[in-house]
Structure 1
Amino acid sequence: MRVVQLGEGMPEVSIVGGIHGDEPCGVRAIERLESDAPDLERPVKLVVANERALERGVRYVDADLNRSFDDDVPEDAHERRLAEALADEIEGTTALSIHSTQSHADPFAVSDGRQEHVREIVPQLSVAALVDVEEFGGGRLFAANADIIEVEAGLQGSETAAENAYTLARELLTATGVLPGDTVPHELPTFRMGDPIPKPEADEYEVFVENFQEVEAGETFAAADGEPLVADETFWPVLLSSYGYEEQFGYEGEPAPNIGQSPSEGANSTSVNSRSSAQ
């Protein structure tokens, strides 16, 4: 793990990239921020998490780092030790964790929409939607003692994802008062995470629908070895892709109340300049 601090003092904000070694976009955003050496109003901590997996170009070495923040992972696993060190590094900060995906080209956030920091900051980021999760798989970074915002910056391995990651990082730094300036808050479509959509055993998979777009009951949404898969009931796909997961296509979702504000409301942007003692 590589940790760099920009600015003087105790950082209350952090940017994390490289949780998965096959998702380099966050690391590239961090490297650009280091190279920029911007004038800061407050310090920030930059963390490149799983350097060993990044060097090998694999998702993880022994265990998925974003599933290693609990006791279910063997103690001698590289990612178990790394998770403990990462949790210590970001403790007490507002932390942006940058990922990429095989499911959707536009950036979106995956966070707990009940949390105040999520409701305040995420609408200031250029994301297409918020996937509202209370518990999305055990052992995730959300278990750390920090205010986590997780974003998917775009398609895995693409230049666009790297550009998006850099933009999102700068927006987060602006929204939290690390960088000077204003953001442009917007009303954000929000979807609750539902049940996983299992994959039947097959050699080839196809997906025919778009994430966050309604799939009606009776509509063909995917295929396995050419055999159509039809929706039993209406749902909104979340993290749906042909090969993003081994045993499932993604998740069934449903619309939730939007967060943020519409541009017509005309309110000025607000910044989270420090963590409250209540958090």
Structure 2
Amino acid sequence: METIDRGSAGSARVAIVGGIHGDEPAGERIVRRLADALDAPEDGAGDGIVRLIVANEPALAAETRYTDTDLNRAFPGDADSDEYERALAPRLAAELEGMDAVLALHTSHSAPPPFAIYSDLTPSVRRSVTAMPVDYVVDAGGLRGTTLDSTVPNTVSIEVGRQGSETAVEFGYEACLAFLRAHGAVDDEPPTFSETTVVAGDKEVPKGSGEPTVHFANFEEIPVGAVFAEDDVYTHRVEEEGVVPILASEEGYEEIFGIYGRVMGTLEPPASADQTAAGGERVDEAETE
């Protein structure tokens, strides 16, 4: 793990994490581009910090998702584990302790559009999500509890695009700048906020063996009776209204076709666009509106 600290224009302590998965090099590229663009810690106008982290260096070097186990399924981890990623998880969490806002970068084999993910809707998370150029955010609070965003407070994950694409790198870099503006860490221009559609993650859709086929794209409502995905083992026919796929992919995951979700409403921007997470913005109810 490599940690690079940079100066901040404000008082918030924020972090951006790339390279959680070694087959997603866009995150590392974005982090290093930010490291080149941002001021050194001693040159920052404020007393906050921007912490940039390249998480899983051995997996990145090997160009594989992980070396022993999936880092984003290994939190909170075990410092004494013989599995590299399980031992890395608490070290990474320690680097993020006390941060006012955290952004974790990911890419996937799934089709666009890019989207954000959170597990706990804090005021900081609301600010991060509604500042970034995404139309959808997934509430993953009802899914796994072993991911970075489910264990480290104020964390948002973002799927910036298709794995291996230059588009993902460019979009991810701009999303990071929007995130930093939202929390006052850069002041090149004012942050902008907009409402975001919230999709609640419901359950994972298992994959078997044989030739996989997915019939619907991310966030496209699946009609009742239609088959979302199939292979030699499973035929997943939707039996309820309002179901949309998340991370829909034929080849992205070994064990699942993606996740079923439901549109729950919209996430509104923060009540005060002038305050950062470190400024103590109050939100009485952390819920969609």
TM-score tier after normalising by the smaller chain length: 0.7 to 0.9
Structure 2 residue aligned with 1:257, among 249, 258, 265? 265
In structure 2, C-alpha distance between the alignment counterparts of 1:164 and 1:196, rounded to whole Å: 27
Letter in 2 for 1:91: E
The answer to whether the 8 A contact 2:78-2:89 is kept is: no
Structure 1 residue aligned with 2:66, among 56, 60, 69? 60
In structure 1, C-alpha distance between the alignment counterparts of 2:148 and 2:231, rounded to whole Å: 32
Letter in 2 for 1:260: E
| Pair 69,227 (structure 1): closer, same or farther in 2 beyond 3 Å | closer
In structure 2, C-alpha distance between the alignment counterparts of 1:208 and 1:165, rounded to whole Å: 27
In structure 2, C-alpha distance between the alignment counterparts of 1:81 and 1:21, rounded to whole Å: 16
The answer to whether the 8 A contact 2:196-2:268 is kept is: yes
How far residue 71 of structure 1 moved from its aligned partner, in angstroms, is 5.2
Letter in 2 for 1:207: V
Structure 2 residue aligned with 1:126, among 133, 137, 143? 133
Secondary structure at the aligned position of 1:168 is classed as helix
Structure 2 residue aligned with 1:98, among 102, 105, 108? 105
Secondary structure at the aligned position of 1:122 is classed as helix
Matches within 5 A, 1:109-120: 109-112=116-119, 114-120=121-127
Structure 2 residue 84 is matched with structure 1 residue 83 = no
| Pair 198,72 (structure 1): closer, same or farther in 2 beyond 3 Å | farther
Matches within 5 A, 1:1-279: 1-7=1-7, 12-38=13-39, 40-41=44-45, 42-70=48-76, 75-93=81-99, 94-112=101-119, 114-180=121-187, 181-199=189-207, 201-224=208-231, 229-234=236-241, 235-260=243-268, 269-274=273-278, 276=280
In structure 1, C-alpha distance between the alignment counterparts of 2:150 and 2:135, rounded to whole Å: 25
In structure 2, C-alpha distance between the alignment counterparts of 1:55 and 1:174, rounded to whole Å: 31
In structure 2, C-alpha distance between the alignment counterparts of 1:92 and 1:275, rounded to whole Å: 14
**Structure 2: unaligned runs, 5 residues or longer:** 284-289
In structure 2, C-alpha distance between the alignment counterparts of 1:85 and 1:275, rounded to whole Å: 27
Which residue of 1 is the match for residue 287 of structure 2? none
In structure 1, C-alpha distance between the alignment counterparts of 2:27 and 2:275, rounded to whole Å: 23
Secondary structure at the aligned position of 1:121 is classed as helix
- Across the aligned residues of Structure 1 and Structure 2, the Cα RMSD in angstroms comes to 2.7
In structure 2, C-alpha distance between the alignment counterparts of 1:77 and 1:227, rounded to whole Å: 32
Count the aligned residue pairs. Answer: 273
TM score, norm. by length of structure 2: 0.85
**Structure 1: unaligned runs, 5 residues or longer:** 262-266
> Which string of whole-angstrom CA distances, capped at 9 and with x for unpartnered residues, describes residues 51-87 of structure 1?
0100000011111111111358971111122111111
| Pair 278,78 (structure 1): closer, same or farther in 2 beyond 3 Å | farther
The answer to whether the 8 A contact 1:68-1:80 is kept is: yes
TM score, norm. by length of structure 1: 0.88
In structure 1, C-alpha distance between the alignment counterparts of 2:14 and 2:5, rounded to whole Å: 10
How far residue 278 of structure 1 moved from its aligned partner, in angstroms, is 9.4
Question: Bigger CA drift: 243-252 or 267-276?
Answer: 267-276
> Which string of whole-angstrom CA distances, capped at 9 and with x for unpartnered residues, describes residues 162-221 of structure 1?
11111111111110100002122111111000022222x332111121211211111232
| Pair 165,277 (structure 1): closer, same or farther in 2 beyond 3 Å | closer
Question: Bigger CA drift: 82-91 or 104-113?
Answer: 104-113
Question: Bigger CA drift: 64-73 or 22-31?
Answer: 64-73
Letter in 2 for 1:203: G
In structure 1, C-alpha distance between the alignment counterparts of 2:44 and 2:181, rounded to whole Å: 10
The answer to whether the 8 A contact 1:110-1:130 is kept is: yes
Letter in 1 for 2:198: T
